[in-house]
Amino acid sequence: MRYKVSTFNCVLINLLLVFSSLGHAGTGVAIDPDKAQAYTPAPENIKARERFQDNKFGIFLHWGLYSQLGGVGSPYGAEWIMEDLRISGPKYQRLAEFFNPTGFDAEQWVKAFKDAGAKYIVITSKHHDGFSMYDSKVSNFDIVDSTPYKKDPIKELANSAQKHGLQLFFYYSQLDWHHPDYYPWGRTGHYTKREKSGDWAKYLQFQDAQLKELLTQYGPIGGIWFDGWWDQEDSHNWDNWQLQRTYKMIHELQPATLIVNNHHRFTVPGEDYQGFEQQLPTNQERLGKLPLEMAQTMNGSWGFSLTDDNYKTTKELVQTLVSAAGRNANYLLNTGPMPNGKIQPENLKTFAEIGQWLKVFGKSIYGTRGGPISPQNWGVSTHNNESIFIHILNWQADTLSIELATPIKSATNLKTSKPVNFKQVEGVITLENLKFDNEEYVQVIELTLKPND
């Protein structure tokens, strides 16, 4: 993943739009987003999609050999340091000789994530450097075979996540700067000093063998989060990856496992939700009908960085979570664990603060869907079968008028549980006597629906 400047545009997303197709910039390939439904998901998969949308909030973890270098000297994310500093493969492999994350404690991680209000975890099983963070039998370039640590942290994380009721997803990089058969190269990985030859078919066999390991050795897996698709043999032809074969294998092994591919374009058949990196899904994108997810960093780096202190405030992160929910998307918040296996204390503090907010306002996030009011300059809305939640992000007046024809029984300040005065006339509801505290992340008003006669 590359760091991109975030763009948060409050624009209309109408869930009833007829979506048109759009090709990825520069590829000349057009994909119809609705063709992602060309395959028929199993009933378990449909149920898993619903659970995914209900969960709303997940934690992303970028952790690997690159963590030891802390991104020093890399102009982009710390996880790209091998490419950015042009470190050769033989030299980069030496990092494994002293990668010994003895501070890793899966129980501490999972408890912190659960306290943050997260419902699922996505961890890098293999990033672009080709190093596997689990015990792979088809590669010796992994944490068990190549490091003094000699243990499988992902096995421990899988056990702890299952124990505490969090789903585990695996990030998997299709791009691989280490594997000898990842050739011809794309735009990256030209400085690894590998032989300029390889067997692409063998690389795909290796990829699928690793995915099979992940799907058969770690219990129920919530999803596979693909990345690196864009750096393939032929950047103009997505068929090089034989995605249909790989996706079919995944769904046969675990029908409920969801698939997303961070290819910055429309979904393709076999994918179960659509991802967005460092940006909210807006009408500037072309959206299909699948569930949505936005992934974002706490600072500017996915991996652990010693130099990037440009952290977003808790208020900014909570407002982004809310903005994503109002656009019917999940929010996947990233942290880069330190090389010793611990989460940075400042990140743990932020997680705890997000968790405190969700303890009070979680009913307006979990189990909801975006709308029915499209995103506005004042904020967004979410809803369930009983209520509409008005999330006020940017408003200082003491009244707020919203177009809403749905009959409302009552309005309540979700923080204080006190009633909010309102009038509803001719399809417009006006909330009155609003009081704002600039220290509040978001003001949430619950509108309880009138029961049907």
Per-residue pLDDT of the chain (453 residues; tens, 9 = 90+): 653 333 333 333 333 332 333 232 233 334 454 555 578 999 999 999 999 999 999 999 999 999 999 999 998 889 999 999 999 999 999 999 999 999 999 999 999 999 999 999 999 999 999 999 999 999 999 999 999 999 999 999 999 999 999 999 999 999 999 999 987 777 888 888 887 888 999 999 999 999 999 999 999 999 999 999 888 766 666 678 899 999 999 999 999 999 999 987 778 899 999 999 998 988 655 677 899 999 999 999 999 999 999 999 999 999 999 999 999 999 999 999 999 999 999 999 999 999 999 999 999 999 999 999 999 999 999 999 999 999 999 988 999 999 999 999 999 999 999 999 999 999 999 999 998 888 899 999 999 999 986
Order of strands, sheet of 387-392, starting from the edge strand that comes earlier in the sequence: 369-370, 379-383, 387-392, 443-449, 408-413
> What pLDDT shows up at residue 284?
56
Q: Cβ(356)–Cβ(317) under 8 Å?
A: no
On whether the CB atoms of residues 150 and 134 are closer than 8 A, the answer is no
User: Dihedrals φ, ψ of 121, to 5°?
Assistant: -125, 135
pLDDT score, position 413: 96
Give the three-class secondary structure for 424. Answer: strand
Q: Which amino acid makes up residue 290? A: L
For the CA atoms of 292, 298, 303, 305, the dihedral, rounded to the nearest 10 degrees, stands at 170
Q: What is the architecture of the domain spanning 385-449?
A: Sandwich (2.60)
Boundaries of CATH 2.60.40.1180 in the chain?
385-449
Query: 352, 343 in Cβ contact below 8 A?
Result: no
Q: Which residues contact 182 (CB under 8 A, 6 or more apart)?
A: 130, 175, 176, 189, 198, 203
The structure tokens 């990092």 sit at: 95
What pLDDT does 36 receive? Answer: 52
Q: Which two tokens stand for residue 440?
A: 């509040």
Delimiting residues of CATH 3.20.20.80 domain(s) in the chain? 22-367
Task: Give the pLDDT confidence score for residue 288 in this predicted structure.
Answer: 78
Whether 268 contacts 246, CB under 8 Å? no
CATH superfamily of 22-367: Glycosidases (3.20.20.80)
CA atoms within 13 A on the CB side of 304: 19
Joined tokens for residue 154: 């992902």
Nearest Cα neighbor of 321 from 348, 361, 274 is 361
Q: Rounded to an integer, what distance in angstroms lies between the CA atom of residue 163 and that of residue 255?
A: 22
Query: 234-269: string of b/e by CB count within 10 Å (b at 16+)?
Result: ebeebebbebeebbeebbeebebbbbbbbbebbbbe
Query: What does the pLDDT read at residue 197?
Result: 84
> Looking at residue 419, what DSSP letter applies?
B
